[in-house]
Amino acid sequence: MLTAGDVAALIAAVVWTVLVAFMCVALVKLTRLLSETTKVVAEFGERTRPMLDDVATTVERTGASLDRVEEITANVATATEDVSTVTALTRSAVAGPLVKAASFSYGVRKVLGQRRALALVRNRRRKERR
Protein backbone atom coordinates (compact mmCIF):
# COMPACT_ATOMS: atom_id res chain seq x y z
CA MET A 1 0.00 0.00 0.00
CA LEU A 2 0.87 3.54 -0.39
CA THR A 3 2.21 5.51 2.41
CA ALA A 4 1.32 9.10 3.13
CA GLY A 5 4.55 10.26 1.52
CA ASP A 6 3.81 8.25 -1.62
CA VAL A 7 0.30 9.75 -1.85
CA ALA A 8 1.68 13.25 -1.40
CA ALA A 9 4.29 12.58 -4.09
CA LEU A 10 1.59 11.20 -6.40
CA ILE A 11 -0.60 14.26 -5.83
CA ALA A 12 2.34 16.56 -6.41
CA ALA A 13 3.18 14.68 -9.64
CA VAL A 14 -0.43 15.02 -10.88
CA VAL A 15 -0.48 18.73 -10.00
CA TRP A 16 2.82 19.25 -11.80
CA THR A 17 1.50 17.32 -14.81
CA VAL A 18 -1.67 19.47 -14.93
CA LEU A 19 0.46 22.60 -14.52
CA VAL A 20 2.82 21.54 -17.32
CA ALA A 21 -0.18 20.71 -19.56
CA PHE A 22 -1.68 24.15 -18.80
CA MET A 23 1.68 25.79 -19.59
CA CYS A 24 1.94 23.83 -22.86
CA VAL A 25 -1.54 25.03 -23.91
CA ALA A 26 -0.60 28.61 -22.98
CA LEU A 27 2.66 28.33 -24.94
CA VAL A 28 0.83 26.95 -27.99
CA LYS A 29 -1.65 29.86 -27.86
CA LEU A 30 1.19 32.33 -27.40
CA THR A 31 3.00 30.82 -30.39
CA ARG A 32 -0.14 31.19 -32.52
CA LEU A 33 -0.56 34.77 -31.32
CA LEU A 34 3.03 35.59 -32.22
CA SER A 35 2.75 34.01 -35.66
CA GLU A 36 -0.51 35.92 -36.36
CA THR A 37 1.14 39.12 -35.16
CA THR A 38 4.07 38.46 -37.47
CA LYS A 39 1.64 37.98 -40.39
CA VAL A 40 -0.21 41.21 -39.54
CA VAL A 41 3.04 43.17 -39.31
CA ALA A 42 4.22 41.70 -42.63
CA GLU A 43 0.91 42.59 -44.31
CA PHE A 44 1.07 46.07 -42.79
CA GLY A 45 4.58 46.47 -44.19
CA GLU A 46 3.41 45.33 -47.61
CA ARG A 47 0.50 47.78 -47.54
CA THR A 48 2.59 50.61 -46.16
CA ARG A 49 5.19 50.62 -48.94
CA PRO A 50 2.68 51.43 -51.74
CA MET A 51 1.02 54.03 -49.51
CA LEU A 52 4.37 55.68 -48.84
CA ASP A 53 5.14 55.60 -52.56
CA ASP A 54 1.75 57.24 -53.24
CA VAL A 55 2.42 59.86 -50.57
CA ALA A 56 5.85 60.59 -52.07
CA THR A 57 4.29 60.92 -55.54
CA THR A 58 1.60 63.22 -54.17
CA VAL A 59 4.19 65.39 -52.45
CA GLU A 60 6.20 65.63 -55.67
CA ARG A 61 3.09 66.59 -57.65
CA THR A 62 2.16 69.14 -55.01
CA GLY A 63 5.65 70.63 -55.21
CA ALA A 64 5.38 70.86 -59.00
CA SER A 65 1.95 72.49 -58.68
CA LEU A 66 3.31 74.97 -56.16
CA ASP A 67 6.15 75.78 -58.55
CA ARG A 68 3.56 76.47 -61.26
CA VAL A 69 1.51 78.61 -58.87
CA GLU A 70 4.65 80.55 -57.96
CA GLU A 71 5.37 81.12 -61.65
CA ILE A 72 1.78 82.26 -62.24
CA THR A 73 2.01 84.60 -59.27
CA ALA A 74 5.23 86.11 -60.62
CA ASN A 75 3.59 86.57 -64.04
CA VAL A 76 0.56 88.24 -62.45
CA ALA A 77 2.86 90.57 -60.50
CA THR A 78 4.69 91.48 -63.72
CA ALA A 79 1.38 92.04 -65.53
CA THR A 80 0.16 94.23 -62.66
CA GLU A 81 3.30 96.35 -62.87
CA ASP A 82 2.86 96.67 -66.65
CA VAL A 83 -0.78 97.71 -66.28
CA SER A 84 0.20 100.24 -63.64
CA THR A 85 2.86 101.68 -65.95
CA VAL A 86 0.44 101.84 -68.88
CA THR A 87 -2.17 103.50 -66.65
CA ALA A 88 0.29 106.12 -65.47
CA LEU A 89 1.47 106.74 -69.04
CA THR A 90 -2.09 107.03 -70.31
CA ARG A 91 -2.99 109.36 -67.47
CA SER A 92 -0.07 111.64 -68.21
CA ALA A 93 -0.65 111.51 -71.99
CA VAL A 94 -4.41 112.07 -71.86
CA ALA A 95 -4.93 114.05 -68.69
CA GLY A 96 -2.41 116.78 -69.55
CA PRO A 97 -4.01 117.70 -72.88
CA LEU A 98 -7.52 117.32 -71.43
CA VAL A 99 -6.68 119.74 -68.63
CA LYS A 100 -5.23 122.15 -71.16
CA ALA A 101 -8.30 121.81 -73.42
CA ALA A 102 -10.63 122.32 -70.46
CA SER A 103 -8.66 125.39 -69.37
CA PHE A 104 -8.71 126.79 -72.89
CA SER A 105 -12.47 126.19 -73.27
CA TYR A 106 -13.06 127.82 -69.87
CA GLY A 107 -11.02 130.84 -70.95
CA VAL A 108 -12.92 131.10 -74.27
CA ARG A 109 -16.27 130.89 -72.49
CA LYS A 110 -15.15 133.53 -70.01
CA VAL A 111 -14.06 135.90 -72.78
CA LEU A 112 -17.20 135.27 -74.82
CA GLY A 113 -19.31 135.80 -71.72
CA GLN A 114 -17.57 139.11 -71.05
CA ARG A 115 -18.00 140.20 -74.69
CA ARG A 116 -21.71 139.43 -74.52
CA ALA A 117 -21.99 141.35 -71.28
CA LEU A 118 -20.15 144.31 -72.89
CA ALA A 119 -22.35 144.08 -75.97
CA LEU A 120 -25.48 144.16 -73.77
CA VAL A 121 -24.17 147.18 -71.89
CA ARG A 122 -23.35 148.99 -75.16
CA ASN A 123 -26.77 148.21 -76.58
CA ARG A 124 -28.47 149.56 -73.44
CA ARG A 125 -26.43 152.76 -73.59
CA ARG A 126 -27.26 153.25 -77.25
CA LYS A 127 -30.93 152.78 -76.52
CA GLU A 128 -30.75 155.19 -73.63
CA ARG A 129 -29.13 157.86 -75.79
CA ARG A 130 -31.77 157.76 -78.41
Compute the distance between CA of residue 125 and CA of residue 117 in angstroms, rounded to an integer.
12
Compute the distance between CA of residue 59 and CA of residue 35 in angstroms, rounded to an integer.
36
Q: What is the pLDDT of residues 34-79, one digit of tens each?
A: 999 999 999 988 888 888 899 999 999 999 999 999 999 999 999 9
The number of angstroms, rounded, from the C-alpha of 4 to the middle of its chain's C-alpha atoms is 86
What lies within 8 Å, CB to CB, of 2 at 6+ separation is 10
Residue 93's pLDDT band (cuts 50, 70, 90): confident
Provide φ and ψ at 70, rounded to 5°.
Answer: -65, -40
Q: What is the pLDDT of residues 21-42, one digit of tens each?
A: 999 999 999 999 999 999 999 9
For residue 91, what is the DSSP state?
I
pTM reported for the whole predicted model: 0.43
Report the range out of 63-67, 95-99, 104-108, 113-117 with the highest average pLDDT: 63-67
Compute the distance between CA of residue 63 and CA of residue 117 in angstroms, rounded to an integer.
78
Helices (H), the chain: 4-90, 96-129
Compute the distance between CA of residue 111 and CA of residue 122 in angstroms, rounded to an integer.
16
